[in-house]
Structure 1
Amino acid sequence: MLSVVVAPWAGEAEPVFVRAPDVLHDAASTMKVAVLAALVRSGVNLDAEVPVVNRFESVVGGEFGNDPDWDSDPLPWELLGTHVPLSLLAERMITHSSNLATNLCLARTDPRAVAEVWRSAGATRSSSPRGIEDYAARDAGVHNRVSARDLVRLLRSIGDVPELLELLERNEFRVDLAAGLPSNTRIAFKNGWFPGVRHCVGLVHPADCPPYLIAVCYTGPLANGADHTDPAARLLARISAAVWERRDAISSLTAARRPGAPSARAR
């Protein structure tokens, strides 16, 4: 299943292109954007030092831990048993997609705060009620799910916090959407992947036209789960490149939909 949403960044503009926008996919690491927003909006002291542990409370009771073999970032694992600033964990959660850092950040907020982030963003279907690798919760039917439309809404909702977008611009995994853009193009984005799933949502800043939002979610056999060489990542890159080629039409298509506006012509 492939879902795509493209929308102007300005205002509350509706998408100009959708394909299966409300189909739910496993969230993978895209839910880390909601965790980041919940952490920042909670007012917690990001400079406070917190213990780096690998035991977390499951939302269905009991405890669980992360598997280092399923994590894309070795640094938090090297810090086990120490104390580090919460800001470092928040950064690694986004820039290196650390699962361990994500659950440590989630432990400093809670699933209700994350749910409020989705609600305030206007999401209608997406939610992330459990931590990463909380398999007991998953087996009990508690799932992290996203739709492409809700991912666009989520990214738009943090536009009033520039430092969050700046952190997303430092994402180290410049594959999928970023790989479909010219190398010097600014993009604030978060991707997520594991075998069978590849997603990405981003805010693209072309130098020659207004910025735009794009979310692509793919669930299927093409996704092999590799960090950088996933064939599904190349699919997302091709979609991103195709949207880039029509970037100057995105805002004009929105203007054309307003009553009395002249029709826009896409190149």
Structure 2
Amino acid sequence: MLSVVVAPWAGQAEPVFARNPDELHDAASTMKVAVLAALCRSGVNLDAEVPVVNRFESVVGGEFGNDPDRDGDPLPWELLGTHVPLRLLAERMITHSSNLATNICLARTTRQAVTEVWRRAGATRSSTPRGIEDHAARARGVHNRVSARDLVRLLRSLAEEPELLALLECNEFRVDLAAGLPSNTRIAFKNGWIPGTRLSVGLVQAADCPPYLIAVCYTGPLADGTDRTDPAARLLARISKAVWDRREQISGPGASTRPTPARSAG
């Protein structure tokens, strides 16, 4: 299953292209954007130091922990048992897609707050009811799922939070959508991958046309679950390039060609 949504960034413009926009896919790490927004909107002190732990409450009762072999970021694991600023973990959740950092951040907000992020974005199908690797919940049918249309809505909902978009520009996994763009192109994006699923959503800011949003979600045998060499990532890159080559057709007349200013993510 392949889902694609392309839309202008300006205002609440409707997509200019949509393929299976409302089909649900495993959220993988794209749910980390909703966790980030919930955390930052909660008013919690991001500079406060919090313990780095690997025990979390399951939504179906009991506890679970993350597997370091399934995490793409070693740094939070090296900090296990210490205290670090919450801001560091929020940043690693996005820039290095840390699963451990994500669950610690999720524990510092609430699942209801994450649900409110999706509601405020206007999402109709996507949800984040559990933490990453809460296998007991997954076995009971509790799934994190997203649609391409809702991912675009989620990113658009950050329009008044440039610091969050700036952090998304620091994503270290510059594959899939980013790989389909010229190397100097600004893109604020988050991708996710597990065996069987590859997906990514981004705000692309070109110098010669108005910014645009793109979300591509793929579920199928091409996705092997690797972070940078996934064949499905190359599929997403080809789609990203095809959209880039037609970027001047995305926004209507009169749309601003000025990209949003870059802000420090630190």
Query: In structure 2, what is the Cα distance between the partners aligned to 1:29 and 1:242?
Result: 24
Q: Does the 8 A contact of 1:216 with 1:236 survive in 2?
A: yes
Q: Does the 8 A contact of 1:4 with 1:215 survive in 2?
A: yes
1:43 matched to 2:43: yes
Alpha-carbon distance change, 130 to 156 in structure 1, aligned in 2, over 3 angstroms: same
Query: In structure 1, what is the Cα distance between the partners aligned to 2:145 and 2:11?
Result: 26
What SS is found at the alignment partner of 2:14?
coil
What letter matches 1:63 in structure 2? E
Percent of paired sites with the same residue: 84
What letter matches 1:76 in structure 2? P
Q: What is the Cα-based RMSD across aligned positions, in Å?
A: 1.0
Query: In structure 1, what is the Cα distance between the partners aligned to 2:253 and 2:212?
Result: 12
Give 1:197's aligned residue. 197
Give 1:68's aligned residue. 68
Give 1:263's aligned residue. none
Deviations 1:64-97 (A, max 9, x none): 0000000000000000000000000000000000
Deviations 1:208-261 (A, max 9, x none): 000000000000000011111100000000000000000001003898xxxxxx
Query: In structure 1, what is the Cα distance between the partners aligned to 2:76 and 2:230?
Result: 24
1:214 matched to 2:219: no
Give 1:95's aligned residue. 95
**TM-score, structure 1 normalization:** 0.94
Q: Map of 1:1-267 to 2, 5 A cutoff? A: 1-252=1-252
What SS is found at the alignment partner of 1:221?
strand
Q: Does the 8 A contact of 1:8 with 1:14 survive in 2?
A: yes
Runs of 4+ off more than 2 Å = 252-255
Unpaired runs of at least 5, structure 2: 256-266
Unpaired runs of at least 5, structure 1: 256-267
Could you say which structure has the larger radius of gyration?
A: 1
- Residue 159 of structure 1 and its aligned partner are, at CA, apart by 1.1
Query: In structure 1, what is the Cα distance between the partners aligned to 2:84 and 2:198?
Result: 31
Q: Does the 8 A contact of 1:14 with 1:254 survive in 2?
A: no
What SS is found at the alignment partner of 1:172?
coil
Query: In structure 2, what is the Cα distance between the partners aligned to 1:122 and 1:129?
Result: 17
Query: In structure 2, what is the Cα distance between the partners aligned to 1:109 and 1:60?
Result: 18
